[in-house]
Amino acid sequence: MPMTPVREVAFVFTRLGFTAFGGPAAHIAAMDDELVTRRAWLSRDDFADLIGAANLIPGPNSTELAIHLGYRRAGWPGLVVAGCCFIAPAVLLVWGIAWAYVALGARVEVQALLQGMQPAVLAVVVQAIWRLKGSLARTRLGVVLAVLAFLGLLLGVSELVLLLGALVAALLYSAVSRRDATASGAGFAILPWLGSGSVTLPRPAVPIGGAAAVGSAVGAAASLSTGAVFLSFAKIGSVLFGSGYVLLTFLRGEFVTRLGVLSEAQLLDAIAVGQVTPGPVFSAATFVGYLLGGHAGAAAATAGIFLPAFVGVAVTAPLVARLRRSPVLSRTLDAVNAVTLAFMTGVVLLMVRGVVLSPWSLAILVTATLLLVRTRLGAGWVLFGGALAGLSRLLITGVPGTP
């Protein structure tokens, strides 16, 4: 008996949620193979249009593509089902790992594994920067905005201010160069996505250090209510363009610099967990939410980070063709992409100071970067290698990761 469209959507995206490793590009390739080549839900041109539409709104691109595909196959029920089924496997896995992290984080072996993975995570971000540099900063305006955003980040300017500035600059440039009032008005429609984030300069981060780091985050979480956790993640989900690695920049700005409730080491642990589990890297939010508020915090963070993606797709799905034809939105997207590349570069430089504390961790960072850039070795294997290197140091020296 053939499945109904909604049941088919649930089956396909649950399976993809359990098996899609490797980040957004790998997720998109898996969806293309499954839904365009094998199941013929839509043409490859239509598939490309949906990728473009997902890129035009903030949030996790591969998740938004899944939501678009669910809507295309089964209407509004398919929109909700596809997104939830694609997200759920990763969220449940990360949730369980977060519980184990808090319960077992005091063990010296766990500290050694995690501290070996932290420089490897930075290497994964460096690889993403290397691969994306040509496609994200491909216009003169984009390069200029990227340089300005990079300098602003190093000087402590809020990511939201820099992103807003890039959007305004791109829209003004379009209005001046094209003299197209109608297109310019359409471009301003994306500004409400920016939310109402406050502008703050960075404070010193929570000290880094194994079990103490785990304890500090859990203790500091008492100052954040479940509602505050939800609002913080909803704000991030509403303004974050680009890949899951850009999430590192916004999480650092919100929870390490502004609120001071998370250490940089814990943040890298969260990104590592999001990377080695299937599905969207944004599931790292579940990990952070658990550290900040236990099970309620994990649920609030998950809902907050992913809800804007559902809303964005619901608003734009009926308008895909019109969005794709808008030159102003396309130019704005180019500007935002360039700024996200600058964010990724800046946050790596800022976090190296707190994570690369010894020649051992520097060797892991350099080796992992070379392996990722020069070979076809996957990020998961490099993170596994970093964990083994951290454990090896413990066995050789008896020291988990201090300088």
pLDDT of residue 329: 72
Which tokens sit at 50? 């949906």
Share of the chain above pLDDT 70, in %: 79
- Concatenating the DSSP letter of every residue in 349-395 gives HHHHHHH--SHHHHHHHHHHHHHHHHS---HHHHHHHHHHHHHHHHH
Residue 395 class from Cβ within 10 Å (0-12 exposed, 13-18 middle, 19+ buried)?
exposed
Tokens of 237: 């989900």
Instruction: Return d(Cα 287, Cα 267) in angstroms, integer.
Output: 9
CA distance 349 to 247: 15
pLDDT in tens, 182-217: 444 444 443 333 333 333 333 333 333 444 444 444
Question: Which residues, including other chains, have CB under 8 Å from residue 304's CB and lie 6 or more apart?
Answer: 229, 230, 231, 232, 233, 234, 235, 236, 237, 285
Say which amino acid occupies 110.
V
Query: Which residues, 6 or more positions from 7, have their beta carbon under 8 angstroms from its beta carbon?
Result: none
Whether 128 and 54 have beta carbons less than 8 Å apart is answered as no
CA-CA distance, 215 to 206, in Å (whole number)?
11
CB 83 within 8 A of CB 71: no
Question: Averaged over 218-238, what is the pLDDT?
Answer: 80
Helix (H, G, I), strand (E, B) or coil at 265: helix
Q: Is the pTM of this model over 0.85?
A: no
Question: What dihedral do alpha carbons 33, 36, 37, 43 form, nearest 10°?
Answer: -140
Residue count of the chain? 403
Q: How confident is the model at residue 177 (pLDDT cuts 50, 70, 90)?
A: confident
Residue type, 169: A
Angle at 119 between CA 241 and CA 260, to 5 degrees: 65
| DSSP string for residues in 10-47 | HHHHHHHHHH--SSHHHHHHHHIIIIIIIS-SS-HHHH
**Who contacts 181 (Cβ-Cβ below 8 Å, separation ≥6)?**
175
Helix, strand, coil shares of the chain, percent, nearest 5, are 80, 0, 20
pLDDT band, residue 135 (cuts 50/70/90)? low
Give the pLDDT confidence of 91-107 residue by residue, as tens digits: 999 999 999 999 886 67
Cα 392–chain centre separation:
30
Amino acid letter, 30: A
Reply yes or no on whether the pLDDT at 369 is more than 60. yes
The 10s digit of each residue's pLDDT in 31-89 is: 888 998 889 999 888 887 787 678 778 888 889 999 999 999 999 999 999 999 999 99
Calpha distance 357→294 (Å, rounded) = 29
Give yes or no for residue 399 having a pLDDT over 70. Answer: no
User: For residue 106, how many C-alpha atoms fall within 13 Å in the half-sphere facing its CB?
Assistant: 4
